[in-house]
């Protein structure tokens, strides 16, 4: 059965596909080498799963000899190390973008002899080289009894339609495995390690699964690789936003909120929104946002709103059912003045400065400040209940008043 390849890819881009694979196991030593039988192609991706007998310490590194100029490609290690539920062995995964076409040998290196190791290498074409990995997981499962059972990596959530799923399973217990639903078994180390590949029809939650025959402990993993060129075209709009509410918070502002839309090809954090008032577009809310404040409105006025959702491909949902709110009435004008400040005192502290102090006024709304007058002319203002008048003439009498 072929991998489930999407048709009609953007700009004729080729869907991701398995190219070749190879494997090797060692029973002692600190390096495990896997040589691919055919030349690799530049800008393809090499995906790797490794397991080893020691449950302590991580895999040191994965390298190859197919980088540009003979240098090793840069391998990103994932979930290194992941110990089995039995604590008897460990596993990790890795990937790299091929730097140069030609022969290629991949090497897993350990700082000490792990007591045996195995590695499977798959070459995959049609992957986004700038940011290959969309999601990954490595799941140690509990004891699996004799008979036919299912092994799973656990679910990951992908954001790109047309991702290639690299699935891997590792055991030291001796399992026979077949590929899970809609998957194609690719390479194996007999009764110990297996890889598979598949391309699900849409983005979202997905797992790598294997059918097993045997009993013992398993570690099962998945790496989801994004397709080059964006994969199959996204033509599915997000769902219509739900739960739109409108709430007047003042005489000039109404706050809106809604429940995020869902989309088969995109996460909620990638969905943006358009806000309409009375049928006319008034705002765009950035991706991931689910609220908007409409300001500058008229008091005591009813307004009707609707919202639609847009995905990164430009697909737009329909508009929500309208939600309405009426702005609050303006507060009545404040015509009550503050009380007159009391207990005004004036104290000369030098030949050129007099300090004033008084008891605060009260008001039905609030006192914002005080004006200070000298000889009936305003000479200052302050928000506090004291004021220093400076630059005065020596041996001179001054008279002060204060208003609130």
- pLDDT tens sequence across 45-75: 999 999 998 766 889 999 999 887 778 999 9
Mean pLDDT of 242-250: 96
Give the CA distances from residue 179 to residues 136, 166, 217, 227, in Å, rounded to whole numbers and listed in that order. 18, 12, 18, 22
Q: What is the mean pLDDT of residues 247-273?
A: 90
pLDDT band at 4 (very low <50, low <70, confident <90, very high): very low
* CB contact at 8 A, 148 and 211: yes
Inter-residue long-range contacts of 144-150, CB under 8 Å, 24+ positions, other chains counted = 144/212, 144/214, 144/215, 144/216, 144/217, 144/218, 145/215, 146/214, 146/215, 147/213, 147/215, 148/211, 148/212, 148/213, 149/211, 149/212, 149/213, 150/180, 150/209, 150/210, 150/211, 150/212
Look at 381 and 177; give whichever has higher pLDDT: 381
Q: Rounded to an integer, what distance in angstroms lies between the CA atom of residue 202 and that of residue 234?
A: 10
Count of residues in the chain: 404
- Residue 298 half-sphere exposure toward CB, CA atoms < 13 A: 4
The token duo for 246 is: 């409108």
Which of 203, 218, 222, 197 has the alpha carbon at shortest distance from 137? Answer: 222
Dihedral sign (CA 234, 237, 239, 241): positive
Q: What is the pTM of this model?
A: 0.56
Q: How much is the mean pLDDT over the chain?
A: 89
Residue from 168, 224, 219, 170 nearest 196 by CA: 168
Q: Check: CB of residue 307 under 8 Å from CB of residue 322.
A: no
Q: Which residue has the tokens 């078994």?
A: 185
Instruction: Please say whether the beta carbons of 183 and 252 come within 8 A.
Output: no
Confidence of residue 327 (pLDDT cuts 50, 70, 90): very high
The angle subtended at Cα 106 by Cα 104 and Cα 112, nearest 5°, is 155
Examine the pLDDT at 1 and tell me if it is beyond 50.
no
Query: Residue 6 pLDDT more than 50?
Result: no
Q: E-strand spans in 3-71? A: 17-26, 31-35, 45-52, 61-64
pLDDT in tens, 87-138: 889 999 999 999 999 999 999 999 999 989 999 999 999 998 888 999 999 9
Whole-number Cα distances in Å, 141 to 135, 221, 297 = 19, 11, 59
Note the pLDDT of residue 208.
92
Please tell me what DSSP assigns to residue 113: -
- For residue 295, the model assigns a pLDDT of 97
Q: How far is CA 130 from the centre of its chain?
A: 18
pLDDT of residue 147: 61
Q: Which helix (H) or strand (E) holds 378?
A: strand 377-382
Helix (H) or strand (E) holding 193: strand 193-198
DSSP output for 282-346: EEEEPTT--EEEE-SPPTT-EEEEEEEEE-TT--BPPPPPPEEEEPPPPPPP--PPPPPPEEEEE
Q: Which two tokens stand for residue 43?
A: 């800008």
Which of 110, 136, 115 shows the shortest CA–CA distance to 58?
110
Q: What is the pLDDT of residue 154?
A: 92
What's the confidence (pLDDT) of residue 265? 67
Place of tokens 């839309």: 261
Per-residue pLDDT reduced to its tens digit, 182-195: 889 999 998 889 99
The reported pLDDT for the residue numbered 56 is: 66
**Rounded Cα distance, 197 and 124, in Å:** 10
**Out of 24-28, 135-139, 200-204, 232-236, least confident range:** 232-236
| Residue 8: predicted pLDDT | 34
The average pLDDT across 80-84 equals: 93
Q: Give the model's confidence band at 146: pLDDT under 50 very low, under 70 low, under 90 confident, else very high.
A: low
């Amino acid at each position: 059965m072929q991998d489930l390849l999407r048709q009609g890819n953007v700009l004729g881009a080729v869907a991701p596909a398995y190219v070749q694979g190879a494997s090797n196991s060692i029973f002692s030593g600190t390096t495990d080498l896997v040589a691919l039988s055919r030349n690799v192609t530049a800008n393809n991706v090499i995906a790797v799963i490794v397991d080893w007998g020691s449950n302590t310490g991580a895999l040191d590194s994965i390298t190859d000899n197919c980088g540009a100029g003979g240098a090793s490609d840069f391998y990103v290690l994932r979930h290194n190390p992941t110990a089995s539920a039995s604590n008897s062995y460990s596993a990790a995964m890795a990937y790299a973008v091929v730097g140069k076409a030609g022969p290629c040998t991949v090497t897993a290196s350990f700082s000490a002899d792990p007591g045996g190791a195995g590695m499977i290498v798959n070459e995959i074409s049609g992957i986004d080289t700038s940011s290959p990995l969309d999601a990954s997981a490595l799941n140690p499962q509990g004891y699996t009894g004799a008979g036919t059972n299912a092994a799973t990596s656990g679910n990951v959530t992908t954001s790109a339609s047309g991702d290639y799923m690299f699935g891997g399973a590792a055991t030291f217990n001796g399992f026979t495995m077949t590929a899970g639903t809609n998957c194609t078994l690719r390479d194996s180390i007999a009764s110990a390690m297996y890889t598979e590949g598949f391309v699900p029809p849409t983005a979202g939650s997905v797992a790598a699964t294997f059918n097993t025959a045997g009993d013992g402990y398993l570690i099962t993993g998945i790496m989801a690789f994004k397709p080059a060129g964006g994969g199959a075209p996204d033509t599915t709009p997000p769902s219509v936003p739900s739960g739109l509410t409108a709430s007047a918070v003042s005489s000039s502002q109404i706050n809106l909120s809604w429940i995020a839309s869902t989309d088969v090809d995109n996460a909620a954090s990638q969905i943006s929104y358009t806000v309409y008032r009375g049928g006319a577009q008034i705002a765009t809310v950035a991706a991931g946002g689910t609220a908007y404040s409409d300001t500058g409105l008229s008091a005591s006025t009813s307004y009707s709103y609707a919202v639609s959702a847009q995905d990164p491909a430009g697909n737009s949902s329909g508009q929500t059912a309208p939600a309405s709110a009426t702005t609050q009435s303006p507060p009545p004008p404040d015509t009550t003045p503050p009380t007159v400040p009391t207990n005004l005192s004036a104290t000369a502290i030098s030949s050129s400065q007099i300090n004033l102090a008084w008891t605060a006024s009260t008001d039905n709304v609030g006192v914002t400040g005080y004006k200070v007058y000298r000889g009936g002319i305003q000479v200052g203002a302050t928000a506090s209940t004291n004021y220093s008048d400076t630059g005065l003439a020596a041996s001179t009498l001054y008279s002060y008043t204060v208003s609130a």
